[in-house]
Amino acid sequence: MTAQVSTLQQVTARADNPAGTASLAALVRLEFQKLSKRLMTRVLFGMMALGIGGLIGLTYLIRSLSSDLSVAVEDYTFPQVLTNGFDVISFIGPILIIILAAAAAGSDYSWGTVRTIVGSGVSRSKALLAQFLTMAAAATAVTLTGLLSTIVASLIIGALEGQGLQTGWITGAALGDLGLMIVRSSFVMIFFGALGFVTAHVTRSVAAGIATGIGLMVLGPISLAIVGTLGEFGERIDQFLVTANTEVLHGNVAGAGAPGPWQAAATLGFYIATGFLLSLVLFQRRDISVD
């Protein structure tokens, strides 16, 4: 470095000397860069694409060997395949986004990079919001990846069955329904992502974020069943249970006793907002540990 003194003098003289701190957009770019270059992200998105495409392909293969093939082809072509695809997305997607969100939030603590970020003078609330927005975008991207994989699998199966591209089903109403399914599915995904994100932030642990998120996915239906045995009291409280509301948004539950879609979205939205505010308050007040 001794020999670099003159170079150093030149470069420091030429460098910008910003007085401000990073904007929210800059922080989102940082989070996006962190996420997109991480091997885990690529693996999880790959799992989503291959998992959904693979599941659709596998069931096609099994059913094509049966005598019931004509029915099966309808299930694997548009528009029915989209509904089936969203069913699979609603099963695989939350697990992947929980892992992704918990890792994004918790790793900054385990690697100590939270010191580098906060020590730069950046607003803590902006940093957290940027991380949350990136997680929400990733949750939507997970849904879209699953959908894309469904479409590709359907096109391949259609081609194998000698069917051309089916476009007759494409109407304004059908596209509206598809858009709604994307929004609903992404919203549920954001909820589970927020759960992993908030838990990892609060506990400063990736493992805790993943365990809580997946634990809720497993225990949610069991709780719903238990609450269902509690009669009128159970009916009153199951409206607030996570599984009851995610199932409504997935279109699996409807009718008397079930919350409406807007109510379900509002309930999950309330949980997301409460969780985010909790992590925001903690992050604002928390000492960034100096080990």
Partner 1 sequence: MTTPYGHGSREAVIEARGLTKRYGEFVAADAVEFTVYRGDIFGFLGPNGAGKSTTIGMLLGLVAPSDGEVRLFGLPPAKQREGLARVGGIIEAPAFYPYLSGRDNLRALGHLRPGLSRERIDEVLETVQLAHAADRKFGKYSMGMKQRLGIAWTLLHDPELLILDEPTNGLDPAGMIEVRHLLLSLAEQGKTILISSHLLHEIEQVCDRLAVIQGGKIIAEGAIDELRAASTQIRIATSQPERAAELLTELDGVAAVRSGPEYLEVDAPDASSATINMALVSAGIPVDELRIHSATLEDAFLQLTANEQKVEVAA
The yes or no reply on residue 24 touching partner 1 (CB under 8 A) is no
Alpha-carbon gap, residue 239 to 263, rounded angstroms: 9
The yes or no reply on residue 38 touching partner 1 (CB under 8 A) is yes
Buried b (16+ CB within 10 A) or exposed e, 183-200: ebbbbbbbbbbbbbbbbb
Residue/partner pairs of 223-230 with CB below 8 Å, 24 or more apart: none
The yes or no reply on residue 117 touching partner 1 (CB under 8 A) is yes
The yes or no reply on residue 22 touching partner 1 (CB under 8 A) is yes
Whose Cβ is closer to partner 1: residue 82's or residue 102's?
Answer: 102
Place of tokens 């199966």: 157
The yes or no reply on residue 129 touching partner 1 (CB under 8 A) is no
- Choices 1-9, 84-92, 154-162, 246-254; region in contact with partner 1 by CB under 8 A: 1-9
The yes or no reply on residue 98 touching partner 1 (CB under 8 A) is no
The DSSP secondary-structure symbol of 252 reads: S
Q: Which of 45, 82, 100, 122 binds partner 1 (CB under 8 A)?
A: 122
Alpha-carbon gap, residue 139 to 204, rounded angstroms: 21
Instruction: Answer for the pair 158, 77: CB distance below 8 angstroms, yes or no.
Output: yes
Whose Cβ is closer to partner 1: residue 173's or residue 290's?
Answer: 290
Chain Cα centroid distance, residue 58 = 25
The yes or no reply on residue 12 touching partner 1 (CB under 8 A) is yes
Instruction: For the chain, state the CA radius of gyration.
Output: 23
- Choices 9-17, 53-61, 75-83, 133-141; region in contact with partner 1 by CB under 8 A: 9-17
- Choices 28-36, 52-60, 239-247, 248-256; region in contact with partner 1 by CB under 8 A: 28-36
Instruction: Count interface residues toward partner 1 (CB under 8 A).
Output: 45
